[in-house]
Amino acid sequence: MGSTQTPTPGIDGTGLNLQSSSGEAIGDPAAEMIQLLGPDGKLGTDPVFSDYAKRLDPEQLRGFYADMAKVRRFDQEATALQRQGELALWVPLTGQEAAQIGSGRATQRQDYIFPSYREHGVALTRNVDLAELLKLFRGISNGGWDPRENNFHLYTLVLAAQTLHSVGYAMGIQRDQKLAEASGANEPKAAVVAYFGDGASSEGDVHESMVFAASYNAPVVFFCQNNHWAISVPTEVQTKIPLSNRAKGYGFPGIRVDGNDVIAVHAVTEWALEHAREGRGPVLIEAYTYRVGAHTTADDPTKYRGSDEEHAWRAKDPLDRLEKYLRSEGLADEAFFEQVKLDGDKLAAHVRATTQNLQSPDIRESFARVYAEAHPLVAEELAWFEEYSAGFEGDDEQEAGN
């Protein structure tokens, strides 16, 4: 696919040149997305991003596949755990592995990540123990991991709130780096990545965060995973133009990339992070992908979309296309793919054992964590809950007797 949205590498914060290498405006509704690795497993070329793809060696490409396969196996296990009553809820990611692994692997240690609640693949790239994620979905923790250890923030369940947090953090990095430079320190420059979905793009928080990011030239990359369905609302209802086109209104680059092409996602994200770290301001990336499964395990996608659509997207599967490439180029043999499967099963066993050994959640503890001190409204709500729960005690005894 052609490169009609390639940003000029020399963009700065003042004389914006929002054009592709072919002279076409970035974000043009008729423009095609950046794609390097097609569904057929063949690698194409791009005047800018092929140079980034050439930096990848066979070991990294095999690593991309292993990561995607591992997080998909994790997703399957977490879904099963929820169905078996071990988790209160689960948020699947199947279909979005390339968008997450490609972008996550493009970050550097000093970069800071603000996820929403579906970025399990990004968590993997930041060396977060995936079993720790499940504490949140089991209802015994507001997170489960220390974000300072991996520069991977806690999940944000409030839609789009993390975009504001990310810009504020990026502005803090910006000021810290200026102080460091003034003192003669030579520390590596950092950037922030904010993940959000197509549905969240309709929230005012996203608009406000982009206004601030543009105004202060903040080193932040907005990474939107356009998975086509904001729960049950299709993308065409959310926006009439590509989401990447919105960046043009704020005065910074917007790039639409094939979100099922891990090589292109990595290249585009690497370019965007370099752009941000070098002080040239924010970038919006729209990863055009698809949520194969449900929005959450409480959702039934068959109520609002057809199976033909899902089948069409399964033909664009991110793992299948990279496997085709690795096999055709002789970069991976059968022993490699078998080992990947074994590693995935090992991770699943670890996640299952860890989850089953966790304490059972007590909803009463949630009432105690709302405020630091006792609050009359919370006490009133707890009393209502206790009275409501007591109404089921007789039913339990009767069922046990039967």
Please, what is the Cα angle at 285 between 93 and 146, to 5 degrees?
55
Q: Is 304 a catalytic residue?
A: yes
Q: Is 291 a catalytic residue?
A: yes
**Gyration radius of the chain's alpha carbons:** 22
The candidate with the shortest Cα–Cα distance to 277, out of 173, 185, 125, 169, is 173
**Residues 6+ positions from 61 with CB-CB distance below 8 Å:** 263, 322, 325, 326, 331
Which one of 72, 138, 280, 295 is the catalytic residue?
295
Which one of 304, 314, 371, 375 is the catalytic residue?
304
SS3 sequence of the chain: CCCCCCCCCCCCCCCCCCECCCCCECCCCCCCCECCECCCCCECCCCCHHHHHCCCCHHHHHHHHHHHHHHHHHHHHHHHHHHCCCCCCCCCCCCCHHHHHHHHCCCCCCCEEECCCCCHHHHHHCCCCHHHHHHHHHCCCCCCCCHHHHCECCCCCCCCHHHHHHHHHHHHHHHHHHHHHHCCCCCCCCCEEEEEECCHHHCHHHHHHHHHHHHCCCCEEEEEEECCEECCEEHHHHCCCCHHHHHHHHCCCEEEEECCCHHHHHHHHHHHHHHHHCCCCCEEEEEECCCCCCCCCCCCHHHCCCHHHHHHHHCCCHHHHHHHHHHHCCCCCHHHHHHHHHHHHHHHHHHHHHHHCCCCCCHHHHHHCCCCCCCHHHHHHHHHHHHHHHCCHHHHHHHHHC
Q: Is 275 a catalytic residue?
A: no
Which one of 291, 321, 325, 352 is the catalytic residue?
291
Which residues are marked as active site? 291, 295, 304
